[in-house]
Structure 1
Amino acid sequence: MKPHRLRVNKVASIFSLNDKTPVYRGGLHPETKYPGSPDKTRDTLLPKLALKPWIRSDPQPLILSRVRLIDPSTSRLFDGLQDVLIEKGHVQSISPSGDRTLGSTANEAKPVVVDLNGLFLCPGLIDCHVHVTAVPGVSTMGELVQTSDELIYLRSTYILREMLLRGFTTVRDTGGASKLLASAIDEGLILGPRLIQCGKGLSQTGGHADFGSSGRSTGCCGGHSQSLGRTCDGVPQVLKATREELRGGADFIKIMCGGGVASPTDAIETVQFTAEEIQAITTTCKQMGNIHTTAHAYTDDSVLHAINNGVRGIEHGNLISVQTARLMAEKGIFLTPTLSCYGIMVRPPFENFLSPDGKIKNQQVMEKGLDALKIADDAGVTICYGSDLLTSMHALQTEGFTVRASVLKSAKVLQHATSNPSKMLKNEKIGRITPGSFADILILNANPLEDVTVLDWPEKHIFGVIKEGRVITSKVPALVADVLF
């Protein structure tokens, strides 16, 4: 009996009607050349036979010529115009424009040379406090809590793509994302920024990430979805929770050490977890490879509670004093303020987002947020950029540059989203454009060292986004985007 010929878009997997006679889909033997393509075999026609077919080869080498190169760490421009060679996702070399040796690469492919005619090159931006699973598609946070994890992760792909198009090539998720999502981005299955994640934030019962039916949180760092946080009480439970998050691939651990704006069961002034519980977390992280820990905390009491028990970073910190800021600087504690979200949450179209009690607490921390930023800067604290936006608010991710620039110089604010996060994340390949760094690059028509608020208008000022050497989007005719949407 003659087997049927199967035609499924030339997919060359094997199937057999019995154990002896293989049948190839499309009816062709693997070595048979396809009609119309006499010089091509199945292997060259079907690269999608690879184990992970979405993983792409390295982009073609690229020379960005005649650029004005920004060094945020020193708050200066390189002298004169520069040429930047990008190869295999990294910056290979930087030379004054016109250096004829720049085109010599270890790669067989000849670099594409793009004359940018004096446009600015800035390192890709880093947002150190996001929640990519706090997705649009719902009108209230209560609806989001009821949304299935599968739908949330599907919608998060939109959030991630938009963040990258706004110029954020790295983001740090402080509750909700997972190692699986980060790996999907790394492999190119999902288009988005490099994702640093903590899995689920840790909360005591009745704390800032307790989503129990007796009191669901609905605001910052609480209420985004049921997967945002997990509760644990007592040393045995916090040890288990910490170890499980690390086993799941968490890059750092987030601890709720104080109250939050919209969580209904805890006032801003509350201090959460006992000293023994926090020490159990920080000791475990130290033993498991010196894993970074950070704490949700607004007040002096909650910040000091975290620091004194081994936590290395503070999220928010709107109500800190001069003395606490000086202690943070002395101990090398990182601060990630989230100053734009408070104003966004109470103005149209989000004026009904918070409950009446939440609006009171929001006003409480918003009034002191810029004061705390200036206090921390004066004390020498290393400050990082954080947006902490939810649902459709993500579209205003860059507004923090405008808010911070109202009290600090532009050059210093740019460090918040580039060189400072590089230190906190212990990754010298991000937040800078130097030989050996990732080729995470923004092409700008204005200098953010002079006016950082240009980053708040990406549609006007970003002429190109490059992540690991691959052109994501471009307004430069000679620079062609190389992404698959």
Structure 2
Amino acid sequence: MSPFPGSPDKTRDSLLPKLALKPWVRDKAPRLILRNAKIVDPSEGALLAGLHDVVAEDGLIISMCTRTTEHEPKLPSIWDADSKDPKPIVVDLSGKYLCPGLIDCHVHVTAVPGVKTMSELVQTSEELIHLRTTYILREMLLRGFTTVRDTGGASKALAGAISEGLITGPRLFQCGKALSQTGGHADFGPANASTGCCGGHVQSLGRTCDGVPQVLKATREELKGGADFIKVMCGGGVASPTDAIETVQFTAEEIGAITTTCKQMGNKHTTAHAYTDASVLHAIENGVRGIEHGNLISATTAQLMAEKGVFLTPTLACYGIMVRPPFEDFLPPEGKVKNAQVMERGLDALKIADEAGVVPLISALPSVGQADPRFAARMLGDAKLGRIAVGCYADLLVLDADPLEDVTVLDYPEKHLFAVIQGGRVISSRIDALPVENHI
């Protein structure tokens, strides 16, 4: 009994660990010691020499030691028997490969399955979208994607729920809703529909805004809502119903208003959906710092992008998915034509960009040799991403094959992926000595 009526009983409360304001918030990640690992260094496109021991604590890598046959490396003191901290997890990986967690720089986690067509998706209730998104996020993480960048649809609230442990998923960077002009790439309303006198229609992945006052308000509202960056639809797209790929969207004044606002409100990054030379040039000449897709760019435009330090995020994986079962009817007939148009030129554009020296952020494969993960970390504004090094996040994959020799091993996680570790927490494991953290 509490000694004072009405006051909390601290003895009782200490026995109720979930009696907390946010009971889903977990304690700090335990100390984790991974021995005898081959370290994948995607920045150099090579393995580090020899076998290594890696020590992680509270979500970060705190020590790395090279092992030799002559002696056992001296690790930092790992456990005080009198400490209240749990005993560390020590695992011998026996020469398995330790790879940085994958980073996908272009996803739409709210573009969920469960529907046959794009029109069904944009009409799906927000509540059902939110519930299905939790499945998408969990599956991404289980396939080894420990960080993703959502380019339209996700929110700060969703990112916060993941970081607190309420939802299982990759570390999430998001732009809120993508900005689109009426009739642009994120306007999914019927062709004869009116957005009203004041615009601002919000649906699915984006919101429409027309004229400088509206784009200023939309940009400021997304940044106020916690957007990490702003996405601008500067050209036509495959999935939108009323705009050809060749269209150029927004005026120079509208895009300039967006990029200026982003600089003023915390120097936030801006990126643009754009396929053609005209739309790419329109974006970067008005201050946009990144390009999504870029399938139809020329060598001249690629050279300008390289000179200005504009990032490119190709998305070649998505076009093939939208033409094979069960998604062969996801796009309307006109969308299928546009999809074939950009798919045909995608690889050529990637070669053009590479030859010009454009910084690539290859969607789905940024940390296995196709692109230096340090570029993704720079764009996302977090240098602790994408590397196995002291001070970096303990986002780690345990593999039985070298992804630098054959990147397709990542296509078969059920065969080659033995464990996923995010922020020092074991998310999945097929290694007996490496138990999965209990989330319940």
TM-score (norm 2): 0.92
Counterpart-to-counterpart distance in 1, 2:109 and 2:192: 23
Instruction: Check the 8 A contact 1:262/1:357 in 2, yes or no.
Output: no
| AA aligned opposite 1:420 | F
What RMSD, in angstroms, separates the aligned Cα atoms of the two structures?
2.1
| Larger RCO, structures 1/2 (Cα 8 Å, 6+ apart) | 2
In structure 1, C-alpha distance between the alignment counterparts of 2:225 and 2:381, rounded to whole Å: 20
Q: What SS does the corresponding residue of 1:242 show, helix, strand or coil?
A: helix
> Which is worse superposed, 179-188 or 445-454?
445-454
Alpha-carbon offset, residue 136 of structure 1: 2.0
2:293, 2:315 within 8 Å by CA — same for their partners in 1? yes
Contact 1:470 1:483 (C-alpha < 8 Å) held by counterparts: no
The whole-number CA distance in structure 2 between the counterparts of 1:452 and 1:338 is 17
Could you list the runs of 5+ residues in structure 2 that have no partner in the other structure? 194-201
Return the alpha-carbon distance in structure 2 between the equivalents of residues 125 and 236 of structure 1. 39
What is the CA deviation profile of residues 33-78 of structure 1, one whole-angstrom value per residue up to 9, with x for unaligned ones? xxxxxxxx42332011111111111122011000000111111211
Question: Can you give the 5+ residue segments of structure 1 that lack an aligned partner in the other structure?
Answer: 1-11, 13-19, 32-40, 217-224, 388-400, 405-409
Aligned match of 2:155: 178
Q: Which residue of 2 aligns with 1:475?
A: 430
Q: Within 1, Cα distance between the matches of 2:374 and 2:19?
A: 41
Report SS of the residue matched to 1:48: coil
Q: How many residues align?
A: 423
Instruction: Give the one of 325, 336, 340 matched to 1:359.
Output: 336
2:384 corresponds in structure 1 to 429
Question: What do the CA deviations read for 1:260-287 (whole angstroms, capped 9, x no partner)?
Answer: 0131211000000000100000011011
Tell me the CA shift for residue 120 of structure 1.
Answer: 0.5
Once the two structures are superposed, residues 285-314 of structure 1 have per-residue CA deviations (whole angstroms, 9 ceiling, x without a partner) of 011111000000000000010000000000
1:21 Cα deviation after fit: 7.4
1:72-102 superposed Cα distances (whole Å, 9 cap, x missing partner): 1111211100000001100001011255431
The C-alpha deviation readout for 1:105-156, integer Å capped at 9, x for no partner, is 5984443210000000110001111111111222322222222212211111
**What secondary structure sits across from 2:312 in the alignment?**
strand
Secondary structure of 1:128 counterpart:
strand
One-letter code of the match for 1:318? N
1:30 pairs with 2:9: yes
- Aligned identity (percent) is 69
Which residue, 243, 246, 259 being the options, matches 2:223?
246
Runs of 4+ that moved beyond 3 A:
105-110
Contact 1:164 1:193 in 2 (8 A): yes
- Give the SS at the match of 2:283: helix
**Counterpart mapping for 1:114-263 below 5 A:** 114-214=91-191, 226-263=203-240
Q: Residue 130 of structure 1 aligns to which amino acid in structure 2?
A: V
- Contact map agreement 2:274 2:280 (CA 8 A) in 1: yes
Kept in 1, the 8 Å contact 2:117–2:327? The answer is no
SS in structure 2 at match of 1:162: helix
User: Among residues 417, 431, 453, which one is paired with 2:408 in the alignment?
Assistant: 453
Alignment of 1:268-347 (within 5 A): 268-347=245-324
CA contact 1:472–1:483 (8 Å) conserved in 2: no
Using the alignment, how far apart are the partners of 2:336 and 2:438 within structure 1? 42
Aligned letter for 1:285?
Answer: C
Q: In 2, distance between residues paired with 1:382 and 1:340?
A: 19
Match in the other structure for 2:196: none
- Encode CA deviations 1:372-398: one digit per residue, 9 max, x unaligned: 0111111111111226xxxxxxxxxxx
The answer (yes or no) to whether the contact 1:411–1:450 under 8 Å persists in 2 is no
Classify 1:245/1:137 alpha carbon distance in 2 versus 1 (closer, same or farther; 3 Å): same
- Partner in structure 2 of residue 393 of structure 1: none
